[in-house]
Structure 1
Amino acid sequence: MPLAPQDPEPADSDDVVHAPLKAWSLRSAAMPWIPGSPDLVLPNLELLLRQIAKSPAIDERFQWADSGSETTVRAAVRAFGRSGLLVREASGALRLSSEAEHWLSKPDSSYLMALFHNNVRFFGELLASIQVGTTHEDLRQVAVQEFSLPWETLDQVRRRTTWFRAVGFVELWSSNELVVTDAGRAFLEQIELAVPQIIANVDGISTELAISEPGPIILREIEKLDQASLRNRKRAISYMPGGDPIDVIQQLVALAETPISREKFEQLCSQEFNIAETSAAGSLYSLRAANLLEQVGPTQFRVSEAAKEWLETDDPLDLVRLFHVSFVGVGELLTLMDDVIGAGELARRLEEEYGIERLATNEIARRLRILEAAGLVQRVTQSSYRVLPLGKAFSPTIPLLQLLQEQESHDLAEADGDVGVSERVASRLTELEHELMSSSTDVASTARFERAIAEVLAHLGFSATHIGGPGKTDVLVEAWLAPGSTRTVAVDAKTAANGSKDSLEFNVLREHRKLHKASVSVVVAPGFDGRLVNWAKEEQVVLIAARTLSQVLTLQASYPLPMSELAQIFSIDGVDALRDKWAAVKRQQDIMAEVVAALWRSANNTGHVKASGGALTARDLWLMTMNSEDAASQEEIAEVLDFLASPLISAVDVRKNESKVNAYSALSSPSTVAARLAAMHLAIRGGSRPALDSPIPELSEPQAAASRPPKRTSAPVDGPDPGAVRQWAQTQGIQVSLRGRLPSHLIEKYRRAHRDEGR
């Protein structure tokens, strides 16, 4: 349901009954539920709607008619879903839709049933499926076989027939047969029905399958997808509360239309869905990872522009598009489901066909829930699915990963490429952070948290080996300190569903430390009880919260420290000690940016050029910046100038002025200085660069030839043979997959080793 939409004037009864039917994918699979027998359903609905009209506060106490059972408005409307009756405000409060207000003012059975039919799947279609002798089980079979609804019980069928019985459109006879009344038949003559062949026939084609166009914001996100960004999408959707995922996500996003603090969001989410606040924290990470929420302050979040666009269209396909942009394998799943298939087999096919490292079955299931809710796939059994015509029609409209055989000829070249390096690094950091935090509370899979820790530590530059298993150290780290000097660290991972660890077996940690001759034991967990922190200090065990390790990842990426200094994270209170060092690096960067900009302005200032050739001394620069907050000293400015004047950088020219003092003038613009530094980064990391002996086209060569796009070819790229790289890795004790894309760092190690051998 959109956030506080501007409702149009309510339509008259005839207009609603004859309104064009929504596309099947836009209708909800869940039928609103009201307790009580059929004769109490409408009075209870009216009572609840009038309560909401009177007071939109969702925690108000509420009492059902006759039964006298008491609940809250929040609990009462939980089963309403996308019924068209309610609108959720940004504050979390509810209000009636214009249609609900119209029905309250002029109770009309056909109006209400038409509203449900336009918003809920298999509602009018169920009524039309009732023939002589039809039972509830017969209708369930029709829903499953003809309309692709994954119903294993009669619950959703009974919900629908209860509403029809409440308005007198259907009767239930003593033989358990359902019979349509004259009023029900008259209603059927006035409404449009979905055609089952179009919905359920996997090979069917129809105008019903026309794919909606995304709005401009979501379209821009889709257009950004190239093969590199598709490969770098996040792996873990993490946690979402139960229920129809589209309804759930709409409710979650509605909490943050205006900026909301992390604490408040988790509190409201916990209350709304009756889940632990740690699970609510997982939901927050999932929404951020899906680009549905954006961070606007240290602990503040709000709805993203892309999410707003989705909420305005209320199109499930837009939600699928956003999940496909953010999470690996979402759209690709649709291409692998021609037959009925389970989550485990889909994970295997994604790996074999697209080179996507094996996803956990629960992550596949989370993707399938979204696709099912959008009408793209059908759940055939509790654990198996197949693609539907809409899914087949949708997958060609979004960018997908190349199949593995198509990737092989390009992977080695792209592994060293310099295109989009910063974007890939940023995407990888986000993925690592998200997986670290979401896995820290996943008590069902401790190995997932162990792998996440190992990947984060490896990304930080440490040699990290995931061991794991009962009674074993989870991650073994070798921290480089100096030539010939390393430090061995035994790391244990501890998940906690409630977000805090309150006990540790210190004797086991001592055994792990002794076994590996480690100098220190480190425990990583979502958080730690205060008493445990004190006990760990007494035992000389280092405790690192997952959020702290995530912050280390972010700070080290922006303000990198030498490995010898970064290794302090494996010391008690070591992270706090490093914050001053990161701050010092940031200060150096800020001073450099300010100096480069000031020199460039001076070089382009007519007055400065006439007076001094645009040159400035360290004192000049100090005087220009001394009034800024936390101003740099002359000594700090001089250090930066000497660095910029080095031949490797060649950003400034240095000469003695009339006072025999070093004066500096710009040789390059700030963007060129940044490009030179970036090029050095690429050279150091072993990235590919164009050869200097490449022939330069003659001036007489036709311009058209130069502008023609290069011909595509399947010839192999210039790079090491993947088989040779795998064989070498195995001899070095490095784990590597038998097929799929080789990591760029492995290719780099292979090349270095063979350069050292003189090859």
Structure 2
Amino acid sequence: MDNNDIKNLWRKKSWSIPDLLGSKSEYTKIIVGVIKQLALENANVMDDCPKLDDIEEVKTWREYAPFLKGIGVVENHNGSLYLSETGKRLSGDVSFYNIATVMQEKIRIFGELLLIIEAEASTVQEVDEKICSNYNLDWKNCSNTRRRMDWLEVLGLIEGVGNRKWILTETGEQALKDWILVTPDVLESFEAVEAEYTITNPPTEISNMIQELSDNDQLHKDRCTYNLWSPSPNKIDNLRKILKYSCDKVSRSDLFNYIGNEFSLRASSVESMMPFLKASGLLEETGRNIYVASSVAKEWCQTGTDIDFIRILHCHFRFVGEMIFFAENDITRNEIYQEAKKYGLNNEKARWIAGFLVEAGLLEEPQYLHLKASAFGMEFAKTLPIADEIIYQKPNERKENVHKDMNKNETSLDEGLFNNLSAAAIDPYAEGKASGVAFEEEIAKIFRYMGFEAKRIGGPGNTDVVVRWTNDEGKVIIGIVDGKSKSSGQVSHGDVSDVAIEAHKEKNSADYVAIVGAGFSGDTIKNFAIKKTVALVTDKELIDIA
């Protein structure tokens, strides 16, 4: 296999391992059990629970689906989960080694950890330091490495030898022989290897749309900054499926049912997607609650090429083709987010656009949190009418920016805050501090970022964070927040003291109580929260609010 083939495989991989709800000791039992159930085609109702042995708390198919889709073993068809081709191969021999091989095919810097451990017995911290140095990774703490090593452990590729050090097992040594690993020198060689791509001409309606944008500056100004949303993974393919279903007129209820069943989404999630489908010029409302794919969307469905979708997106959204040009040289995501603000886009919207461009092969991820336009991307971007960000700025902003020297090394404050919160949510000893302290501090920072008065208290006998604000009537409102950092990513009722929460609420004269964690496991804690009027907030939800 040449470097170009390896590069294409690398491009399709993800940086993150999807969550699997359950304890680490149950991971393999869950995977083996659900694969066997899927082989029997027993995943027909998403809110049913699979029949799994020796699992303390079995989740629903809907809750297991993100992990199973993330490692590529299932597909969703009309509200039922079925094994993909990868899943079918795995079901023939659901060994731990084959599960590890599937994950290696989907996750970046997974098997590559074995190279570090092969050279020398190492702790998690030592592996993290070496992997970040070798691959120029900007991981803020050990959580990414620890999570990968957790999986390598439970799948039998590494084992502990005392003093918190790890070595390869015989299975791990076999993996080094079998797997295609991307070493730092191979990664560097990607720069010199580019596949030959053919940029197909756009079909008639899409071509006319691009020409209109080229001829009319006002259309550039009218490009929108709406939220973007598409089911994961394979966001572009999933959008194409939705539009193929809508090529003939379809009622709102039928469309919602199709999207919900096909992608295991609740009605509220489908609802949140509709503004994007319309703002991006993909879907039109031809009557009251009657929808149909637009003419350009129908052309895209016929050609099936990702670049036709990007052409449509560029004509309706700001900073699409412009993002490709901006990333001509290797830059950080934070630099892209700073540039996106000139076009009126926040970080999340820029992240979505970047995701589409990566999926279409127009941007690449040369290293963690970095992006770079591919040669194909640069050639493609030259075919698009491009706007200068200055047309989106108000007159007084333009005057200020003439004299403003942008510091390219400046990092995004909010991005750093959000990354630190998420990292501390699953790393109790983040930033080298005592258990839970970093997470509590980051929670307080997030609330202050949103304009609240927030103070970390911590320590025995009191709450973690006190939040204050003044309502419209001038009354000071107090909320207390209990932060729960768990390496498993799941907070259960056993981690929460009902008595302590009531005492903390009384001690601080609090009106509201919230518990913040990476995730919440089990009905007991959820029922407790409902009964005691306690808000359960995940770190991702808190970031969305911020």
Which residue of structure 1 lines up, in the alignment, with residue 314 of structure 2? 324
1:44 paired to 2:30: yes
Change (3 A) 1:336 1:240: closer
Q: Does 1:34 align with 2:27?
A: no
Find 1:189's aligned residue among 149, 171, 177. 177
Q: Distance in 2 between matches of 1:318 and 1:193?
A: 33
**Counterpart for residue 627 of structure 1:** none
CA contact (8 A) 1:86 1:95 kept: yes
Q: Which residue of 2 aligns with 1:346?
A: 339
Distance 1:37-1:284 versus aligned 2 partners, 3 A rule? same
Mapped partners of 1:46, 1:93: distance in 2: 19
Conserved 8 A contact 2:229-2:276: no
SS at match of 1:79: helix
Change over 3 Å in CA distance of 1:38–1:359 after alignment to 2:
closer
What do the CA deviations read for 1:499-519 (whole angstroms, capped 9, x no partner)?
Answer: xxxxxxxxxxxxxxxxxxxxx
For residues 386 and 367 of structure 2, the distance between their equivalents in structure 1, rounded to whole angstroms, comes to: 28
Alignment check: 8 A CA contact 1:266 1:284 kept: no
Check conservation: 1:87, 1:94, Cα contact below 8 A: yes
Q: Distance in 2 between matches of 1:222 and 1:141?
A: 50
Counterparts in 2 of 1:184-263, with a 5 A limit? 184-197=172-185, 199=187, 205-207=191-193, 209-210=194-195, 212-213=197-198, 221=206, 225-226=210-211, 227-228=214-215, 232=219, 235-236=223-224, 238-240=226-228, 246-247=233-234, 250=237, 254=241, 257-259=244-246, 261-263=251-253
- Cα distance, 1:298 vs. partner? 5.2
CA distance in structure 2 between the aligned counterparts of 1:26 and 1:366, rounded to whole angstroms:
17
* Structure 1 match to 2:371: 387
Match of 1:569 in 2: none
Distance 2:161 2:204 in 1: 53
Deviation of the 1:406 alpha carbon: 13
1:328 positional shift: 2.5
Structure 1 residues 65, 329: CA separation in 2 closer, same or farther (over 3 Å shift)? Answer: same
1:86 aligns with 2:74: yes
Q: Measure the CA separation in 2 of the matches of 1:302 and 1:173.
A: 62
Aligned CA distance change for structure 1 residues 273 and 229 (closer, same or farther; 3 Å): farther
Residue in 2 aligned with 1:170? 158
Indicate which of 85, 107, 110 corresponds to 1:123. 110
Distance 1:380 1:128, change over 3 A: closer
Q: Is the 8 A contact 2:322 2:387 kept in 1?
A: no
- 123 and 276 in structure 1: CA distance in 2 versus 1, 3 angstrom threshold: same
Q: Secondary structure at the match of 2:50?
A: strand
Aligned to 1:75, which of 51, 55, 63? 63
Q: Distance in 2 between matches of 1:396 and 1:55?
A: 44
CA contact (8 A) 1:59 1:73 kept: yes
| Separation in structure 2 between the aligned mates of residue 218 and residue 110 of structure 1, nearest angstrom | 46
Question: AA paired with 1:183?
Answer: T
Q: Which has the higher contact order (CA 8 A, sep 6+)?
A: 2
Equivalent residue for 1:506? none
The 1:120/1:400 distance shift into structure 2, 3 A limit, reads same
Find out whether 1:99 has 2:93 as its counterpart: no
Deviations 1:466-515 (A, max 9, x none): xxxxxxxxxxxxxxxxxxxxxxxxxxxxxxxxxxxxxxxxxxxxxxxxxx
8 Å Cα contact 2:76-2:264 kept in structure 1: no
Shift of 1:86: 0.9
In structure 1, C-alpha distance between the alignment counterparts of 2:197 and 2:114, rounded to whole Å: 28
1:54 to 42, 67, 80: 42
What's 2:435 paired with? none
> Structure 1, unaligned stretches of length 5 or more?
1-14, 352-356, 408-759
Q: Following the alignment from structure 2 to structure 1, what is the Cα–Cα distance between the partners of residues 299 and 244? A: 12
Per-residue deviation at 1:236?
A: 3.2
- Does structure 2 conserve the Cα–Cα contact (< 8 Å) formed by 1:211 and 1:394? no
Preserved CA contact (<8 Å) 1:39 1:166: yes
Letter in 2 for 1:328: R
CA distance in 1, matches of 2:386, 2:345: 18
Alignment of 1:264-413 (within 5 A): 265-266=255-256, 277=268, 280-290=270-280, 293=283, 299-301=289-291, 304-305=297-298, 308=301, 320=310, 323-337=313-327, 338=329, 339-340=331-332, 341-342=334-335, 345-347=338-340, 358-360=344-346, 362-371=348-357, 376=363, 386-388=370-372, 390-391=373-374, 394-398=377-381, 399-401=383-385
- What residue identity is the alignment partner of 2:145? V
Amino acid at match of 1:93: S
Q: What displacement does 1:186 show?
A: 1.6
Matched residue SS, 1:59:
coil
Counting only pairs closer than 5 Å after superposition, residues 419-498 of structure 1 correspond to structure 2 as none
Q: 1:77 to 1:114 in 2, by over 3 A?
A: same
Do 1:239 and 1:286's aligned partners in 2 also have CA atoms closer than 8 Å? yes
Give me the whole-angstrom Cα distance separating, in 2, the residues matched to 1:379 and 1:275: 35
Q: Secondary structure at the match of 1:122?
A: coil
1:115 alignment partner, SS class: helix
2:75 counterpart SS class: strand
SS of residue paired to 1:189: helix
Structural mapping, 1:661-700, within 5 Å:
none
Structure 1 residue 94 displacement after superposition: 1.9
Question: Cα 1:334–1:59, aligned 2, differ >3 Å: closer, same or farther?
Answer: same
The correspondence of residues 513-528 of structure 1 with structure 2, limited to 5 A, is none
Give the superposition deviation at 1:168.
1.6
The CA deviation at 1:329 is: 1.6
Unaligned runs of 5+ in 2: 392-546
Structure 2 CA distance for aligned equivalents of residues 365 and 96 of structure 1 = 30
Deviation at 1:222, TM superposition (A): 6.7
Distance in 2 separating the partners of 1:405 and 1:297 = 36
Distance 1:206 1:241 in 2: 34
What is the SS of the residue equivalent to 1:68? coil
> 2:360 and 2:389 mapped to 1: Cα distance?
30
Specify the code of the residue in structure 1 equivalent to 2:353. Answer: R
Deviation track 1:377-400 (CA, whole Å, cap 9, x = no partner) reads 65999xxx6532x54652232224
SS of aligned partner of 2:167? strand
Larger of the two Rg values belongs to structure: 1
Alpha carbons 2:43, 2:61 under 8 Å: kept = no
Measure, in 2, the Cα distance between the counterparts of 1:246 and 1:87: 10
Structure-2 change in CA distance of 1:135 and 1:293 (3 Å) = farther
**2-side partners of 1:210 and 1:196: how far apart?**
20
Does structure 1 retain, via aligned residues, the 8 Å contact 2:280–2:316?
Answer: yes
